[in-house]
Amino acid sequence: MTPDQAEHVIEEALAQVAPDADVAGLAPDAELRDELELDSLDFLRFVELLSERIGKRIEEDDYPHLATLASAVKFLAGPG
C-alpha cells in the first residue's frame, strides 16, 4: 500500500467514525483522538474499519502507531 492509498483509507475510516469532522483539514501530526474527539469506542471502530480495509487484524500493541495521521499512514504503508 502506498502512502497515498493509506491516507485515503484512513480518511475514509475517520469520516465514517466522525462524520461531522473536517478530516481533510487534519494536520499530519495532530492527535486523532483529541482533534476529532474520539472516545474509546470510536477509536475501536476506526481500528476495525482499517482492519477490514487492509484485510489484516490490527493488534492492540499497534494502536500507538495510529495516534496521528502521519504515524497511521507510515504504519499502514509499511517499510519502503
C-alpha 59: how far from chain center:
14
Whether domain 3-77 has CATH 1.10.1200.10: yes
* Ranges in the chain, pLDDT < 50: 80
The position carrying cell 470510536 is 42
> What is the rounded distance in angstroms from the CA atom of residue 44 to the CA atom of residue 4?
23
Give me the pLDDT at residue 59, please. 95
Non-local (6+) Cβ contacts of 15 within 8 A are: 21, 23
Rounded to two decimals, what is the model's pTM?
A: 0.90
Strand partners, 68: 31
